[in-house]
Amino acid sequence: MWARWVRYQKDRMFWGIVGILIVNVIVLVIVVTSSLHHLFRYTYMSEIDYERFRTAAELAAFSPVIVKVTATADAVPYNPPYEHFTKTKVTIDEVLQDKNGLLQPGGTMTVLEQYWIEGRAMFPKQTVYRGNYYSKLVPGASYLLYVAEATRHDSYWTVAFHQGKFNLDRKDKLERRMEKKDPRYGELKRSVLAAYAARTTATDSPLPQ
């Protein structure tokens, strides 16, 4: 009887220790996963050589379409062979320039964004950008977009990556961070916002040059 009681106590202690270890491992995994999520919420694949602009006039001359839009939550993965993108629907609030005359206020357009989402199983999802400081459109936020038609993808994409996207209501926190990382973009954004402000005070005049 005594031997059985001792064995019972040993088994109880063993499984108690095992249970504690399992709980600790689960907690550790949760903590590490959460930390990784905060550390690696986004990453940039590479630096890409592309045209750089300093003023709104330079950018406007290079952009077939300039629109004021509101981003929606309608964003879906788009993966043609050997490429990864996200297609995001936006509502057109104002058409400032459209060389083909295809867009109308109140309509929608699809923006081919240079990012995609990765993550599987217990690993945290992260946003992967193709390169060069782009930040994804924030649902409900207002933007000025300088875009060109991506005919092969039935959508539009921003001119020169992040240089074609300007948040107007400060809801895009990542874009604000990128302004500090890329001072030339910050300078360009100030020029674009000044040009837009000047245009709104004189709606009958062309986009300021």
Enumerate the domain spans of the chain.
1-39, 43-200
Q: Which fold has domain 43-200?
A: OB fold (Dihydrolipoamide Acetyltransferase, E2P) (2.40.50)
DSSP state of 64: S
CA 119 to chain centre: 16
Model confidence at 118, pLDDT cuts 50, 70, 90, reads confident
> How high does pLDDT run on average in the chain?
80
Residue 13: pLDDT above 80?
no
> To which H or E segment does residue 20 belong?
helix 2-39
Give me the pLDDT at residue 28, please. Answer: 52
Please give the residue that has the higher pLDDT: either 137 or 208.
137
Q: What is the distance between the alpha carbons of residues 115 and 132, in angstroms, rounded to a whole number?
A: 11
- Selected residue with higher pLDDT from 60 and 120: 60
User: Which of residues 32 and 138 earns the better pLDDT score?
Assistant: 138
Tokens 């004021």 — which residue?
68
pLDDT at position 51: 78
The pLDDT tens digits for 188-198 are: 999 999 999 99
Residue recorded with tokens 């930390």? 35
Q: With 60 as the cut, is the pLDDT of residue 18 above it?
A: no
More confident residue, 89 or 10: 89
Which helix (H) or strand (E) covers residue 56, if one does?
Answer: helix 56-61
- Flag the least confident range among 91-95, 120-124, 201-205: 120-124
